[in-house]
């Protein structure tokens, strides 16, 4: 780390705020910015409002202290707000998600609100150059559609009738109680690698598991390993398609306590949350990727990005926020019962 002290730049302050939203530790932020941890700690302590670091407040105060007051329009190039939006675009958020989240970050500062149309206009009005090309590349160009599985892949129902999706508990369908999951496999290049995707139906919380091979044994081991890290109260049921990779489903149930159900053949809409998530994952794992080269650590990073992305269906909350709120409610109810 450099020993000579220099003032934090606007870009560094914006990065601190965005990385705090991603729940990175002070030490991790310091390493990424090549700053001493005490510098980051002092910066956050001085410029936090309502327990949250505010890069705009920090930069404004710094300008006043340097006797260089300057007023900038809300979304002009180089403004504090524009830098915040750029960082959010870089981590995969859409303009609509950004516009809605700004209101939650600064509920008492309407001057920092912008619509998603304004964000689009600002990007396309940006002068030609590399940054403009990067900004446009961050925008999603529409949802990719996954190819339906071939007839030879699923010719008939593979699993017992008592494990049919139609026999799931009624609470699974209404999405009111967390703990019910949908799962699938994403297959990599040459059908030699795979990643298991698990999505919690209520919160849309995502878990990704690296498979050593696209086989039933590897799927059972990977899914059991990653799902066992969740609280038991969040492991009620899981619904998968009828692919042969779930032939060892009884082992998953034995390790996690979850009962496994199976969707009807050729019915991806019965696992809509999972299908949608697989589409989002293509932003990070394009088709044709050799998934054997993707580490579990990288998969965890991608899952974190999705779990800290505001969702319209959740009232613009993060999936992780919804899950934490549920666990806190469970804990408080248990305390009331004990008392």
- How far is residue 333's CA from residue 337's CA, in Å, rounded to a whole number? 6
Residue 301 lies in a domain: yes
Among 71, 88, 117, which residue terminates a domain?
71
- How far is residue 323's CA from residue 219's CA, in Å, rounded to a whole number? 25
Residue 146 lies in a domain: no
No. of H helices and E strands in the chain? 14, 7
Strand partners, 207: 198
Which among 214, 178, 177, 206 is positioned nearest to 274, based on CA atoms?
206
Same domain as 233, residue 178: yes
Confirm if 196 and 295 have CB atoms less than 8 A apart. no
Same domain as 320, residue 240: yes
Q: What global pTM score does this model have?
A: 0.61
Range of the domain at 177: 161-330
List C-alpha distances in Å: 262 to 157, 197, 201, 267.
9, 15, 15, 10
Same domain as 250, residue 109: no
Confirm if 276 and 64 have CB atoms less than 8 A apart. no
pLDDT at 287: 86
CB burial of residue 41 (10 Å; 0-12, 13-18, 19+):
middle
Sheet strands (E) in 54-191 = 180-187
Same domain as 126, residue 1: no
Terminal Cα distance for the chain, rounded: 52
Strand partners, 164: 262
In three-state secondary structure terms, 198 is strand
Cβ neighbours, 10 Å, residue 247: 15
Confirm if 266 and 226 have CB atoms less than 8 A apart. no
Strand 180-187 relative to strand 194-200: parallel, antiparallel, unpaired?
Answer: antiparallel
Residue 337 lies in a domain: no
Confirm if 244 and 186 have CB atoms less than 8 A apart. no
Same domain as 259, residue 239: yes
pLDDT at 329: 87
Residue 305 lies in a domain: yes
Residue 93 lies in a domain: yes
* Sheet of 259-262, strands arranged across: 206-211, 194-200, 180-187, 237-240, 259-262
Sorted by sequence, the CB contacts under 8 Å of residue 337 that are 6+ apart come out as: none
Confirm if 213 and 204 have CB atoms less than 8 A apart. no
Structure tokens given for 160: 């017992």
CB burial of residue 69 (10 Å; 0-12, 13-18, 19+):
exposed
Indicate left, alpha or beta for 309 from its phi (over 0: left) and psi (-120 to 50: alpha). Answer: beta
Residue given tokens 């799902």 in the structure block: 227
Per-residue pLDDT of the chain (339 residues; tens, 9 = 90+): 444 456 787 767 777 877 777 677 888 788 777 788 888 888 888 877 666 676 655 555 555 444 444 444 457 767 788 888 888 888 888 888 888 888 888 888 888 888 887 888 888 777 777 777 778 777 765 332 334 444 443 344 567 777 888 889 888 988 889 999 999 999 988 888 899 999 999 999 999 999 988 899 999 999 999 999 999 999 999 999 888 899 999 999 999 999 999 988 877 888 888 888 888 998 999 988 999 999 999 999 999 999 999 999 899 999 999 999 998 888 877 545 544
Strand 237-240 relative to strand 259-262: parallel, antiparallel, unpaired?
Answer: parallel
Residue 229 lies in a domain: yes
Structure tokens given for 276: 């949608």
Structure tokens given for 270: 């019965």
Same domain as 255, residue 168: yes
Cβ neighbours, 10 Å, residue 217: 14
Residue 155 lies in a domain: no
The structural domain count of the chain equals: 3
Residue 336 lies in a domain: no
């Amino acid at each position: 780390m450099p020993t000579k002290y220099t003032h934090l730049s606007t870009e560094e302050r914006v990065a601190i705020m965005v990385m705090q939203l991603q729940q990175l530790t002070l030490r991790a932020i310091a390493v990424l910015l090549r700053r001493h941890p005490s510098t980051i700690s002092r910066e956050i302590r001085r410029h936090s409002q309502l327990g949250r670091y505010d890069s705009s407040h920090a930069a404004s105060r710094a300008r006043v202290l340097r006797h260089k007051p300057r007023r900038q329009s809300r979304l002009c190039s180089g403004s504090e707000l524009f830098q915040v939006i750029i960082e959010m675009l870089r981590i995969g958020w859409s303009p609509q998600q950004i516009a809605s989240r700004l209101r939650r970050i600064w509920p008492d500062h309407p001057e920092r609100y912008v619509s998603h149309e304004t964000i689009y206009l600002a990007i396309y009005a940006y002068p030609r150059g590399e940054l403009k090309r990067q900004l446009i590349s961050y925008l999603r160009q529409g949802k990719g559609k996954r190819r339906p599985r071939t007839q030879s892949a699923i010719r008939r129902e593979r699993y017992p009738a008592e494990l049919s999706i139609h026999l799931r508990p009624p609470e699974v369908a209404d999405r009111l109680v967390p703990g019910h999951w949908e799962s699938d496999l994403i297959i990599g290049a040459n059908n030699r690698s795979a990643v298991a995707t698990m999505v919690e139906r209520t919160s849309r919380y995502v878990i990704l598991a690296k498979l050593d091979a696209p086989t039933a044994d590897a799927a059972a081991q990977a899914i059991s390993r990653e799902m066992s890290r969740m609280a038991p109260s969040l492991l009620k049921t899981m619904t998968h398609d009828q692919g042969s990779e779930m032939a060892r489903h009884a082992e998953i149930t034995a390790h996690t306590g979850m009962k496994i159900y199976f969707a009807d053949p050729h019915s991806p809409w019965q696992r809509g949350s999972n299908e949608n998530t697989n589409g989002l994952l293509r932003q990070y794992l394009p088709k044709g990727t050799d998934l054997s080269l993707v580490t579990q650590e990288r998969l965890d990073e991608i899952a974190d990005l999705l779990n800290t992305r505001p969702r319209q269906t959740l009232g613009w909350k993060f999936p992780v926020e919804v899950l934490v709120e549920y666990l806190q409610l469970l804990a408080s109810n248990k305390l009331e019962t004990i008392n």
